[in-house]
Structure 1
């Protein structure tokens, strides 16, 4: 089955201890999320899957920032999520150079106003393997959107993190209704 790995928001501002809005950093570190993401990038390369890394960000000057958003409305106050900034760089331990594509998204979902769906359809992708930070937001949004676009959805539980373990587990329980939930070491068997 034609498959793509989609890694979400493995960027400094969101999940590195030095990030400006890194509420998931401790949970991600405790779960070795970057190690698991690297394992998935390796599996994708070995299996010939398309690998896509997606990160959220806004143009310099925040002209495309939704100021009314409860989630993104204040990021300019912290100087976070600016395209080209150190905070939008991928986590330094992530093997981002292995990705076939990098997409910048302007909202929570990896599909919103991006060319992700077009890239997947161009490659005749049928199944998406999703992981990222945070489980509660980016992973849920991408998985739900992929489901509604008729992709078979797989979520890699141990390559995801949230604000805490309770939030993460609640997200996985919800996603189990529309996605297959696996661990990173199972991806090689897909």
Structure 2
């Protein structure tokens, strides 16, 4: 399988300190993320980091938003908060963009679509935490925007292993090619 490298981008989504910390005792789970990033860099495939963060005061969080409204009450996850910074294990290089989103999908409230279109990207390789959150939401929106989508199943994590399995084995294949990071790297040649 040949991949169109010049029009492909690797998205590393929500690998930020406050989310990666949920898996702090299992650092080996982060190795497929790093392998994918290193392979993309070696093949000059753009690596784009995506994080979720909010302005001070949480102006963009509606009290009707069940997922995010609690943040406004207890704080954290602001743009400058340590929890929203990309984890050191997959630290971006100076030229690699970090996109800030305001909701679950990488496209929601961010300039990701503009960045991808400006670079002529038509194929997205998705990695992220969590499988049932940012990966699912971004995959659905990317497919609706007519991007070709690949998901690196072992470079996606979810707190619920069964949910991860159902997503990667039953849900995602309807709109994406699902493979391991190793299979993707092998396909790069």
Asked if TM exceeds 0.5, the reply is: yes
Shift of 1:31: 7.5
1:6 aligns with 2:11: yes
Is 1:15 equivalent to 2:12 in the alignment? Answer: no
- Paired residues, what number? 181
**Which residues of structure 2 form unaligned runs of 5+?**
none
Query: For 1:126-145, what aligned pairs fall within 5 Å after superposition?
Result: 126-145=122-141
SS at match of 2:90: coil
Determine the structure 2 residue equivalent to 1:20: none
Q: Deviations over 1:93-152 (max 9, x none)?
A: 223237621000000111122111111111111210001010001000111111111111
1:159 touches 1:184 (CA, 8 Å); kept in 2? yes
TM-score by length of 2: 0.89
| Residue 182 of structure 1 pairs with residue 187 of structure 2 | no
Of residues 95, 99, 102 in structure 2, which corresponds to 1:103? Answer: 99
Offset from partner CA, 1:154-183 (integer Å, 9 cap, x none):
000001111221111122121111100011
Gaps of 5+ in 1: 17-24
1:112 and 2:108 equivalent?
Answer: yes
Q: CA RMSD in A?
A: 1.7
Measured after TM superposition, the shift of residue 79 of structure 1 is: 1.9
